[in-house]
Amino acid sequence: MVALAAWVIAFAVGSVVGVARTVPNRLVRTLATTYVELFRNIPLLVQMFLWYFVLPELMPVEVGRWMKRDMPNPEFSSAVLCLGFYTASRVAEQVRAGIESLSIGLSHAGYASGLTTSQVYRYVLLPISYRLIVPPMTSEFLTIFKNSSLALTIGLLELTAQSQQISEYTFNSFEAYTAATVIYVVIALSTTVLMHLLESRLRIPGFISKDER
């Protein structure tokens, strides 16, 4: 659940930021780069703490109070936001790489036939690059899914061990870990298979990307 909701954010924000990193406008590019560097260079766990503990404090008093007291499912929503925005920075890099892997002649061809910048992206660059980045996107999805375990961990620490005494984990949790591990392996493997199918359906006949050579 957390993973899916976060994936929606990550894909949307990541696409925008990724495209922004390739546009001619310098200011837009710098902003997008800053976003990526900022989210990429702080450990996810720290970001999780920032969203969960720090953000409510920095908000105007009423909003902060509402976030702490009345917001439903605080762990859930901060985990989704955190994972979403974090993964967006990684998705953005993939989108950028996908666009940059296309030859410059392709966008020149678009401009030459009178398309505007946004039309070039909409009709030429994006349709091709999204197909190219299906494989890395698969692994990004798996990453977001694996990272959602962090959110569970925070929840777990909150619930079971305020004192953070690890010795209090019992053999019940041992079983829980076994179950969790099996579930992760199963889902990861089936996603891989699914994406293979998707990849072959989306393939453009006769078009070979740089990596496949």
Q: Which stretch binds another protein (CB under 8 A): 5-13, 39-47, 112-120, 193-201?
A: 39-47
Residue of 12, 185, 202, 204 interacting with another protein (CB under 8 A): 185
Residue of 181, 194, 202, 204 interacting with another protein (CB under 8 A): 181
158 binds another protein (CB under 8 A): no
111 binds another protein (CB under 8 A): no
41 binds another protein (CB under 8 A): yes
- What's the per-residue H, E or C state across the chain? CHHHHHHHHHHHHHHHHHHHCCCCCHHHHHHHHHHHHHHHCCCHHHHHHHHHHHHHHHCCHHHHHHHHHCCCCHHHHHHHHHHHHHHHHHHHHHHHHHHHHCCHHHHHHHHHCCCCHHHHHHHHHHHHHHHHCHHHHHHHHHHHHHHHHHHHHHHHHHHHCCCCCHHHCCHHHHHHHHHHHHHHHHHHHHHHHHHHHHHHHHCCCCCCCHHHC
50 binds another protein (CB under 8 A): yes
Kindly list the residues in this chain that would bind another protein in the complex (CB under 8 A). 37-38, 40-47, 49-50, 53-54, 57-58, 142, 146-147, 149-150, 153, 157, 164-166, 174, 177, 180-181, 184-185, 187-189
